[in-house]
Structure 1
Amino acid sequence: MSHFNDFNNPQVAALPGHLKQFIVDQHYEHYTPIDHAVWRYVMRQNYSYLKDVAYYPYIPGLTKAGLTIERIPDLQEMNNALAKIGWGAVTVDGFIPPAAFMEYQAYRVLVIAADIRQLKHIEYTPAPDIIHESAGHAPIIADKDYHEYLSYFGSIGAKAMFSAQDFELYEAIRALSILKEMPDADEEEIKKADELVTYRQENMGEPSEMALLSRLHWWTVEYGLIGTLDQPKIYGAGLLSSIGESSSCMNPEVEKLWYTIDALKYSYDITKPQPQLFVTPTFQNLINVLEEFANTMSFRRGGAYGLTKAVESKNTCTAVYSSGLQVSGTITEFKVDKHDNPYFIKTTGPTILAVDNKLLKGHGKDHHKDGFSSPVGKLKNADLPLEDLSADQLKDLGIIVGVQAKLDFESGVTVNGTVKNILSSTEKIQLITFTNCTVTDKKGHILFDPSWGGYDMAVGEKIVSVFCGAADKEAFEEIVYKSKTETHHADYDWKTRELHKLYQQVRNCRLKQGDYGFLGNVWQKLQHDHHDDWLCALEILEMLEHEHIEPALTAEIRQFLGQKATDEPELKKLISDGFYLIAHPVEQNLVF
């Protein structure tokens, strides 16, 4: 994307470069009159049903998010509205990697898939679409406790360790969702893609932190209920945007459980209705459960536990020393003493050193292009950890710039070389650089040889935190892996373009309350050339009935739709729900 549109929204403007790469233009002009009709149908259904089961006042929530029932939201309008509550919104191409999705949440930006589901998937789509993201997630954003939870979740999720398997599953799910939304997808290909998702879901091994967090996300943000077990209300976006499941989920067959840390034990399948749902008494409880889980995560535990997760992840991770020094790269090896405390760590490939998530000058990927290794721990002959020593205490140990020094660590690692530079900040020493330096372990094995160049020794008694991704993402140019599969965009044939015109004429007639007599012509054309359409016919019927005109035409269309509901069982609920909406219109003063 050559230009970056921040919609004059401070949250969007503040996004870092590695997140901006996922943003695509909304291309509002690509939405067809059928797309707008699909949006309107789903939103009217949502309102009609959700006003009784949704936790929050649905329509005021829509207004606060800059949405209307009549047409697909324009991103600028959404950003104008969301800015008032300290949020923003951007459009992306389908599923993006979980870590990036989490980070957007931490920046308080809603990620919205720019596409909208096809008419044939009006009840449920496996692909993320603008209905799910904006009608599901956006209206509740105005609730302060809830949006605090969402951004806090994002900041924790952005640090979660993910495994190589998580990544493969993400790719498989993305590919399947794209195929399913393709008008001309080959059934055999869909079947294969489906099997791959199932296979990968069943062979995930021990679930990673990201996999476990995504369960908490699923059972709250996507499928959460709030209130009491016997009379819960819906707040999860997956339920709010599925006109099928938002009603079926209240059936007693769907078990309702209190939301606690135990929700971690329940995996989920994105292609099937949920067998059980979790009810939280308050949004604060969501934060408490998340906090309980965060305390078990590598970024809070550090040590050998965190380093093991980093090695398994095979991705860029950051190890944080107790001095505040952050080492970001692919961690491939570490050594522990008999108390399981790490005393040596090693990365392979490009590595950066940072403090406070900002690159240390001169310690970027070019300087450490082949990896980095360093001891961890205390010196044998010092009472205090090395990072806490004053200039005088360093002098007493012979650690003086320009002088050769020998550092003996409790672990048996020895560093012997000429001190070139001592780097410190925030009253702690983070790095000592040596020239002509040899590093050996307690058995005398060479860990660093002078011929390899200068030696940068990280300083710190412990590894206090390990998290996924780089500390300074911009310096690492973290191209959070971007998928090569692009979502499909249709080319419309002549006949479909004709149908678009008919939908547009009906829309114009409704908005301008214009020449209703013209609807008879549209109906004739639909009958003649587009016999399988039902939604346009339903919109014509709605106007004729509300205006009490042309009773013969009204009866003819009603009969046609009734017959269609009988002949095509998959349309039965959609058409009868449409009839219900005509009889019980959404109050017009709420449809701005």
Structure 2
Amino acid sequence: MSTEEHQIEFNEVTAKLPENLHPFIVKQPYSEYTAQNQAVWRYVMRLNVDYLKKVAHESYIEGLGLTGITVDEIPHMEGMNRILKDIGWAAVAVDGFIPPNAFMEFQAHNVLVISSEIRTIDHIGYTPAPDIIHEAAGHAPIIANPEYAEYLRRFGELGSKAISSPDDDLIYEAIRKLSILKENPNSTQQEIDQATKEVEEVQNNVQELSEMAKIRNLHWWTVEYGLIGSLENPKIYGAGLLSSIEESKDCLSDVVQKRPYTIEAAEVSFDITAAQPHLYVTPDFAHLSYVLEKFANKMAVRTGGLSSIEKLVKSTKMGTAELSTGIQISGVFTRVIAFEGAPIYLQTTGATALASQGRELIGHGTHQHPDGFGSPVGKLEGTNLAIEDMSPRDLEAYGIVEGKQVALNFEGGVCVQGRIVTGKRDIRGKIQLITFRECRVTYQDEVLFDPSWGVYDMAVGKSVVSAFAGPADDKSFKNIH
């Protein structure tokens, strides 16, 4: 950790955060809050709390007391954490926007990300930029409800596995720029107009929503801008509404259309810089989890197959593919060869690590695979029995024995020829990895691995059962986000 991190008070929840998230955490600059900052907090909170007593979900007012938030002053992060740990949560200060996958990963570890910034007096009613009123007074109180808190944690867990696309990065940066400009009192209208145009352009250029884009839509329409109860008389629980004087009043009027919350909300994008023309109403918190699980069943982390690897390739970011034996390949996937609708060869470029059950395999970190990793997937030609399902007698019959020269012809045309050195098995005795020397791997007339490149490690698996963003083992890589 850096010197600054040593000054941060970690509690039993934040102490368990993976190290790749530590760089986002900052020391809350409490002494830098001005008298005007404190006045803005008091003004917004007094107006909001008085009004929200009538229109917010009952968990909100109860949660204010349970999370250590008062009307009188901007909360101290350390003080909040001493109280939040009693309900199994924590909060950390960050400097404004952070990448979506990192945000979700914090949430998966029961940690709220709270911007240390506070809105200016010019944007006292609403700010598009992250600020402590939105995140401390909006998000924190509602997690005192155990059912909602579990939904939030589960959302983070799934969201951190959602595969993004390059479009998501462009949209994130464009919205970040526009939000900062809108909050900055020194910004010119010309700068704001230009940034608004850039946001519209990148959003209009999106051809297909990624998993990350869809799950962010669900997050927006529930965690940020959700209503609960009946369509005719809903209550507020979304943090964006709970922290906005203007929108908390407007959202319940007939001006804003109310829609039943369903999985279709994943396809509906939003504008972070403007008031929302419609909102979604969930009948109860249990329904939120029902919709989330329905969406998760369509994610690559659960479906696997060719489409899941194609998503990883398209993302151009680090991801993990898990094969049917449980072996996990983590890296930047750059190619997949397919046959009859199934992946038959996977290829990463650059630093790659192999793992099983989320733990790096000894001797198979990025130091062993610094330049990428490629492996066939599937069954051998002429047999219905996959290598992973072969008995010792079957393995001997196919020549898959240590010290022997072998030619393994896979369905679809990938051929592995070399001398077997050793293999790795999991705790159940299932073969996950076979190591070759003097090995050549080909696909039709193309050489995928040449003997001069050294030792060849072949992952074993008849299918891809899962694919997700990020590494299998956080400790395998630095600078994940």
Q: TM-score range by the shorter chain?
A: over 0.9
Shift of 1:316: 1.1
The 1:277–1:44 alpha-carbon spacing in structure 2 relative to 1, beyond 3 Å, is: same
Q: Contact 2:352–2:366 at 8 Å: present in 1 too?
A: yes
State the match for 2:415 in structure 1. 414
CA deviation vs aligned residue, 1:195-251 (integer Å, no higher than 9, x gap): 212211222221111111111001100110111111110000000000001001111
Say if 2:308 is the partner of 1:301: no
Q: Residue in 2 aligned with 1:79?
A: 81
Quote the residue 2:370 is aligned against.
Answer: 369
The equivalent of 2:164 in structure 1 is 162
Question: Partner residue of 1:400?
Answer: 401
- Asked if the contact 1:352–1:364 (Cα under 8 Å) also holds between the matched residues in 2, the reply is yes
Structure 1 residues 479 and 307, CA, compared in 2 at 3 Å: closer, same or farther?
Answer: closer
Match of 2:155 in 1: 153
TM-score w.r.t. length of structure 2: 0.96
1:510 maps to none
What is the distance in 1 between the residues matched to 2:46 and 2:219?
Answer: 27
Query: Within 1, Cα distance between the matches of 2:437 and 2:411?
Result: 23
Partner residue in 1 for 2:354: 353
CA shift, 1:404, in A, is 1.8
Following the alignment from structure 2 to structure 1, what is the Cα–Cα distance between the partners of residues 48 and 150? 25
8 Å contact 1:387–1:461 — kept in the other structure? yes
1:332 aligned partner: 334
Equivalent residue, structure 2, for 1:142:
144
Measured on the aligned residues, the alpha-carbon RMSD in Å equals 1.5
Aligned residues: 478
Q: Which residue of 2 aligns with 1:282?
A: 284
Residue 249 (structure 2) aligns with: 247
Report the Cα distance in structure 2 between the residues aligned to 1:419 and 1:32, rounded to whole angstroms.
Answer: 69
CA contact (8 A) 2:352 2:369 kept: yes
Partner deviation per Cα, 1:423-443 (whole Å, 9 max, x = no partner)? 1113221110000011122x3
Matches within 5 A, 1:93-172: 93-172=95-174
Contact 1:94 1:174 in 2 (8 A): no
Q: CA deviation at 1:420?
A: 1.1
In the TM superposition, residue 57 of structure 1 has moved relative to its aligned partner by: 4.4
Shift of 1:32: 0.8
TM-score, structure 1 as length reference: 0.79
Distance change in 2, residues 1:478/1:381 (3 Å): farther
1:189 aligns to what? 191
1:27 — aligned with what? 29
Which residue identity is paired with 2:164? F
In structure 2, relative to structure 1, the CA distance for the partners of 1:450 and 1:57 (3 Å cut) is closer
Label 1:58 to 1:156 Cα distance change in 2 as closer, same or farther (>3 A). closer
The farther-off stretch of 199-208 and 220-229 is 199-208
Contact 1:316–1:470 (8 Å) recurs in 2: yes
Report the equivalent of 2:67: 65
* Whole-Å separation in 1 of the counterparts to 2:256 and 2:16: 42
Equivalent residue, structure 1, for 2:463: 462
SS in 2 for 1:320: strand
Q: Deviations over 1:271-320 (max 9, x none)?
A: 11111111111111111111111111111111111111111111111111
Distance 2:258 2:186 in 1: 39
- Mapped contact 1:328–1:351 kept (Cα < 8 A): yes
Measured against aligned partners, the alpha-carbon deviations of 1:13-60 in whole angstroms (never above 9, x if no partner) come to 000011111011101101111111110111111111000000124332
Partner Cα separation in structure 1 for residue 384 and residue 195 of structure 2: 60
Alpha-carbon separation, structure 1, partners of 2:8 and 2:479: 21
Deviation at 1:8, TM superposition (A): 4.4
Stretches of 4+ aligned residues off by more than 6 angstroms = none
Tell me the distance in 2 between the aligned counterparts of 1:253 and 1:126. Answer: 20
Q: Give the corresponding residue for 2:454.
A: 453
Q: 3-state SS of the aligned residue for 1:141?
A: helix
Q: Distance in 2 between matches of 1:293 and 1:431?
A: 33
Aligned residue type for 2:309: L
Counterparts of residues 3-18 of structure 1 (less than 5 Å): 3-4=5-6, 7-18=9-20
Partner Cα separation in structure 2 for residue 364 and residue 8 of structure 1: 29
Partner SS state of residue 21, structure 1: helix
**Secondary structure of residue in 1 paired with 2:119:** coil
Query: Which entry has the higher C-alpha Rg, 1 or 2?
Result: 1
Distance 2:374 2:125 in 1: 54
Partners of 1:106 and 1:153 within 8 A in 2:
yes
Which of 211-220 and 395-404 deviates more? 395-404
Match of 1:48 in 2: 50
Report SS of the residue matched to 1:400: coil
> Equivalents in 2 of 1:275, 1:240: separation in Å?
17
Paired letter, 1:446:
V
Q: Match of 2:406, as an amino acid?
A: A
The answer as to whether partners of 2:470 and 2:480 remain within 8 angstroms in 1 is: no
Task: Tell me if structure 2 keeps the 8 A contact 1:254–1:276.
Answer: yes
The 3-state SS of whatever aligns with 1:68 is coil
How far apart are 1:414 and its partner, in Å? 1.9
Q: 1:523-554 CA deviation, whole Å, 9 max, x = no partner?
A: xxxxxxxxxxxxxxxxxxxxxxxxxxxxxxxx
Report the CA distance between 1:94 and its aligned residue.
0.5
Instruction: Report the secondary structure of 2:26's partner residue.
Output: coil
Please give the alpha-carbon distance, in whole angstroms, between the structure 2 residues aligned to 1:140 and 1:463: 39
SS at match of 2:245: coil
Amino acid aligned to 1:393: D
Q: Structure 2 stretches of 5 or more lacking a match? A: none
How much identity, in percent, do the aligned residues show? 52
